Every structure is written in C-alpha cells, then in structure tokens.
Amino acid sequence: MESAAEAVASAQAALDGARETLRLKQDVLLQRAQSALAYARVYAESDEALSAQLDAVSLPRSTRRPRTEEGLVLSVEPQPAPRPRGRPRKPSLAEPAVEALVLPGE
C-alpha cells in the first residue's frame, strides 16, 4: 500500500512540476506575442487595412503576479519626487547677479 501511495505522490509532484513549467512557458510566449503585436501596430500605422486587421487581434492579459519579499512590490503609497539631475546652472555673465542690482532711491 505504501509503495502505491509513494508512486501517486511522486506522479503528482511530477505533474505539478510539468504544469508549472507549462505555465511559465505560456507566460513567455504571451509576452513575446504581445511584443510582436505592438511592433506590428507601429509598422502598420500608415496602412489602414493592416491596422484594422491588427485591431481585431485580441491577446489575453499577462498572468504574471507581482513579486513579493525578494523582489518588486507594487504599492499605492506616494513616492517622493525625484531629485533634479545634474549640476545647477551657473549664472551667466550677461545677466547681473541679483545682489549687484541697486534700486533707485535706496
């Protein structure tokens, strides 16, 4: 009896592994199909007939789930504004500095 239960457990584990591999391969294929469709739509922008045919193509949404602890976590919390990149501009010599301006009557 135990050997039959072990055989069933082993077969179930193999089946689960095969299903997971299939799901991953289907996700990759779906992503490639979505990319190909996006490229085709860009290519067909000037051809109305081809654009109409591509608009009829309907692909399912990706089934990928957001990563958790070890990776990316999607949240709705507001993120701080990014800091400006690069060095601040130097004042040009054509424009006088604000401190150098003297208003009349002072």
Note the residue count of the chain. 106
pTM (whole model) above 0.85: no
Residue 103 domain flag: no
Contacts of 34 (CB under 8 A, 6+ apart): 59, 62
Number of domains comprising the chain = 1
pLDDT tens, the chain, 106 aa long: 679 999 999 999 999 999 999 999 999 999 999 999 999 999 999 999 999 999 998 888 776 665 555 555 566 677 778 888 888 878 776 655 555 556 666 5
| Domain span including residue 39 | 1-58
CA atoms within 13 Å, Cβ hemisphere of 77: 5
- Rounded to whole angstroms, what are the CA distances from 61 to 6, 25, 30, 58, 65? 38, 15, 8, 9, 11
Residue 44 domain flag: yes
Residue 69 domain flag: no
Residue 90 domain flag: no
